Structure 1
Amino acid sequence: MTSLRFLDPDGSRYGLPTYPWGTAWLADDDLATRKQLANMGLRPGTSEPTAQLMWRSRRAKNGVRTAALYRISEARPKEEFTEARARGLAAAMRARRTCPTCRLVFVYVIPTSLGQCPACHEGGAPETWELEAAA
């Protein structure tokens, strides 16, 4: 059962043409969400959505969730994941795993709440902390 309170095809109430969840294809079959575009190997061709889906949800603070809709006809192919991107991503992840205090590289990402590895945050040297944990 769809809620007609979310039906606003001209966009006068919500600013964008709005459709209840699961009914946008009835009005225009050229609309898709980002996830649907990604499944087709596409990405949005414009930065602004053309319309939106709206539905009730207990997970949202105001009880309503939305999903942006983009035109499939304006979508562009996804960009390739090149070797340079892979190297850049690996370097960024290594930086997130490196403690700025002791410069050790861990197998996990350093918690941003601490700003350094747990051993440095507690004031002990990482080598001592590792030995105590093993004992």
Structure 2
Amino acid sequence: MTGGVMTDRWGWQPTAWMEAGVPTWRWRCAPGGLVTRRQMRAADLAPGGAAPVARVVCRRGRRWADLWDPADLTCKRTASPAQLAALDRAMAARRWCPTCRAAAGYCIPRSLGACVDCAAPATTTKEDR
């Protein structure tokens, strides 16, 4: 973590070091204009095969974030209307209970195989009281 790094993109960086093959900076010390994965998603961008160009480290090395150059990124793909309709049908099928044939209002757990009411019927009756 001493000495600095000479990079092709930003030149001499006295506060950087190489880690995992990319220049790495402490929190808030990286060059401007780079984006994290969350910033990329918020801007409707995707890596599109581009590798991270840098890394930021915080919390004494326990947390880190890769950084991308926005010029290397592509637009996110969008689903077609047919794909969205197929997803809607699949999610609707997951909400129907096969036992009582009613819409449960939530996705049926695969571990139960039926809605909660059908999987665990009332255990107490008048005779048990």
Question: TM-score, with normalisation over the residues of structure 1?
Answer: 0.59
- How many percent identity over aligned positions? 37
In structure 1, distance between residues paired with 2:69 and 2:44:
14
Q: 2:125 matched to 1:117?
A: no
From 24, 35, 46, give the equivalent of 2:30. Answer: 24
In structure 2, distance between residues paired with 1:32 and 1:108:
37
In structure 1, distance between residues paired with 2:16 and 2:90:
43
Q: Could you tell me how far 1:45 is from its partner in structure 2?
A: 2.0
Q: Could you tell me how far 1:86 is from its partner in structure 2?
A: 1.6
- Report the equivalent of 2:40: 37
Q: 1:24 to 1:101 in 2, by over 3 A?
A: farther
Provide the secondary structure at the position in 2 that maps to 1:54. Answer: strand
Query: Which residues in structure 2 correspond to 1:70-89 (within 5 Å)?
Result: 70-89=68-87
- Report the equivalent of 1:10: 18
Instruction: Provide structure 2 residue ranges, at least 5 long, that are not aligned to the other structure.
Output: 3-14, 123-129
Q: 1:74 to 1:90 in 2, by over 3 A?
A: same
Q: Contact (CA 8 Å) 2:50, 2:73: kept in 1 or not?
A: no
In structure 2, distance between residues paired with 1:15 and 1:66:
14
RMSD: 3.2
Q: Contact (CA 8 Å) 2:47, 2:74: kept in 1 or not?
A: yes
Query: More helix per residue: 1 or 2?
Result: 1
Paired AA for residue 49 in structure 1: P
From 45, 54, 74, give the equivalent of 1:51. Answer: 54
Question: TM-score, with normalisation over the residues of structure 2?
Answer: 0.61
Q: Contact (CA 8 Å) 2:50, 2:72: kept in 1 or not?
A: no
Query: More strand per residue: 1 or 2?
Result: 2
Q: Could you tell me how far 1:52 is from its partner in structure 2?
A: 2.6
Higher gyration radius (CA): 2
Provide the secondary structure at the position in 2 that maps to 1:32. Answer: coil
Q: Contact (CA 8 Å) 1:44, 1:71: kept in 2 or not?
A: no
